[in-house]
Amino acid sequence: MTDDMKITYATMSADQMETLHRGIDDAIEQIKPQLGKTYPMHIDGEAIESSEQFDDLSPIDTRTVLARFQTGTADHVRDAVRAARAAAPAWSARPWTERATIVRKIGDGIRSHRWELAAWMGYETGKNRLECVGDIEEAADFMTYYCDQLEAHGGFSQTMDKLGANEENSSVMRPHGVWAVISPFNFPMALAAGPAGGALVAGNTVVLKPATDTPRLGVRLYDIVAEAGVPPGVFNVVTGPGSTVGQEIAENPDIDGIVFTGSKEVGMMLFRVNGARPAPRPMITEMGGKNPALVMPSANLDKATEGVWRSAFGAQGQKCSACSRVYAASEVRDRFVEQLVEKTKQIKVGNPLERDVWMGPVINEAAVKIYEQAIEEAQRDGGRILTGGRRMTEEPFRHGYFLEPTVIDGLPNDHRLFVDELFVPITVVGEVSSFDQAMQLANDTEYGLTAGIFTEDDDEIARFFDGIQAGVVYANRQAGATTGAWPGINPFGGWKASGSSGRGAGGPYYVQQFLREQSRVRIY
């Protein structure tokens, strides 16, 4: 595949798909002999082992031990932070042009290993081939875009006006120091590499804690970062549980900033810990969503159906941007639901490493329990399971976490399934009598990440964009009603309980969050 042949979540030609399949087929065969190996952590350029390890099991078949990883401790985090702090002065002192050159090499390295990384991701996350390659390409594009932004703004330093002829004034953006990146299981490369790239290009050093369900990509990222020429101590990886590694990151006084992607509960805990510190530190958090799609009377129902099922069930519904609720106008509700159910029934569930499988397993048993509880509640409260609603336990699904994609209707619009983020392959459909009612229901949530509308009415689109309380909004997006943002194309960040900074990843204001302003005045 050539470098100008871009693969995203929303664009793919037949030729590209065949190239993708051949690349992943080859990578799977290369990876199979490596399954079961033990991998170290990386602190100050050294491979570090712990007294305990944990198994990384595939959600496709939990009998498959993908690898063994080190169970890091609070002491390992402290060691990593000390290494990062020691490396920070030299890294921040390098000309920003040199840092940008190195971070671009990280992006190039990710692209050059795209098939291998995507194959590992399929084994580890259960995402299908396209989703995995999209994750890898997105990670690389984050790196490139953040370098572009740094270069376009001259390192984020500029000359200011004068009050007198004998003075010189400037605004200089300077790095904070040490940043921790706590990455999620569902985008183990993009949401580790993206924040790390933003921090690094801005002159900070990084301690990465990958999710315990998907540590392989985080550890592999270290290799690529080192190959790009990042000095020892500038980028460190500590694997292990949130109860120890994550807690130490939250409480460590020598960490100057944290990027967190995960649940609202953990994100708010980090804010509470931050509030108890002697001085505040920057926090960039993305904490989930309950993302609506509105289907209005004038909607193209083919587009709406396609957009909703892709966003509802892509990555098994385990995206913070997944379309987990739909409000359909009464005039088109029956036809839309009929088409959505028909499309959902056609989704092939299975081993996502296979070419023709669109939906793989969820990540773990806890996700299965959330799904089963939601189905039970829907049935108890008068909802109709229009399709799906079952854990798949027959062969060949017996040893994995496979769930049927599920569409539910008949629940009151204030039911918990319309309100709470579930992170499983369930979407609920409600009926509305007007655009205003749809907007009121769409905004009636603590979250505000993504939202979509399907309508041919320009006035409704304008009112939707102006009135919806979400950070990423789409109109008539067939490739994904609420999903598919891309670096440099669609900044991705949430409002309300979905995010803390109001500045989206992959957007023009992201890198500045890793910097602090110094106003300089010189009198001659």
Contacts of 4 (CB under 8 A, 6+ apart): none
For residues 254 and 400, give the distance between their C-alpha atoms in angstroms, rounded to a whole number.
41
Which distant-in-sequence residues (6+ apart) come within 8 Å of 382 by Cβ? Answer: 410, 411
Q: Which amino acid is it at 389?
A: G
Q: How far is CA 17 from CA 119, 337, 345, 485, in A?
A: 15, 30, 23, 20
Please say whether the beta carbons of 295 and 301 come within 8 A.
yes
Handedness of CA 447, 448, 449, 451 (dihedral sign): positive
For residue 114, the surrounding DSSP H or E stretch is: helix 114-125
Residue numbers annotated as active site:
286, 320
**The residue type at 342:** E
Phi and psi for 117 in degrees, rounded to 5? -65, -40
Q: Which residues contact 283 (CB under 8 A, 6 or more apart)?
A: 257, 258, 260, 270, 271, 274, 500, 501
Which among 133, 119, 126, 113 is positioned nearest to 16, based on CA atoms? Answer: 133
Residue 204's nearest CA partner among 318, 90, 335 is 90
CA distance 202 to 176: 9
Report d(CA 503, CA 510) in Å as an integer: 6
Instruction: Please list the residues that pair with 517 across neighbouring strands.
Output: 173
- The single-letter code of the amino acid at 502 is G
Distance, in Å, from the CA atom of 255 to the CA atom of 279, rounded to the nearest integer, reads 12
Q: Could you give the strand order of the β-sheet that contains 426-432, starting from the edge strand earlier in sequence?
A: 384-387, 406-409, 426-432, 323-329, 291-295, 450-454, 472-475
Contact 9, 486 (CB under 8 A): yes
Whether the Cβ atoms of residue 431 and residue 330 lie closer than 8 Å to each other: yes
**In b/e form, how buried is each residue of 49-80, taking b as 16+ CB within 10 angstroms?**
ebeebbebbbbbbeebebbebbbbbbebbebb
Chain mean position to CA 468: 22
Handedness of CA 480, 481, 485, 486 (dihedral sign): positive
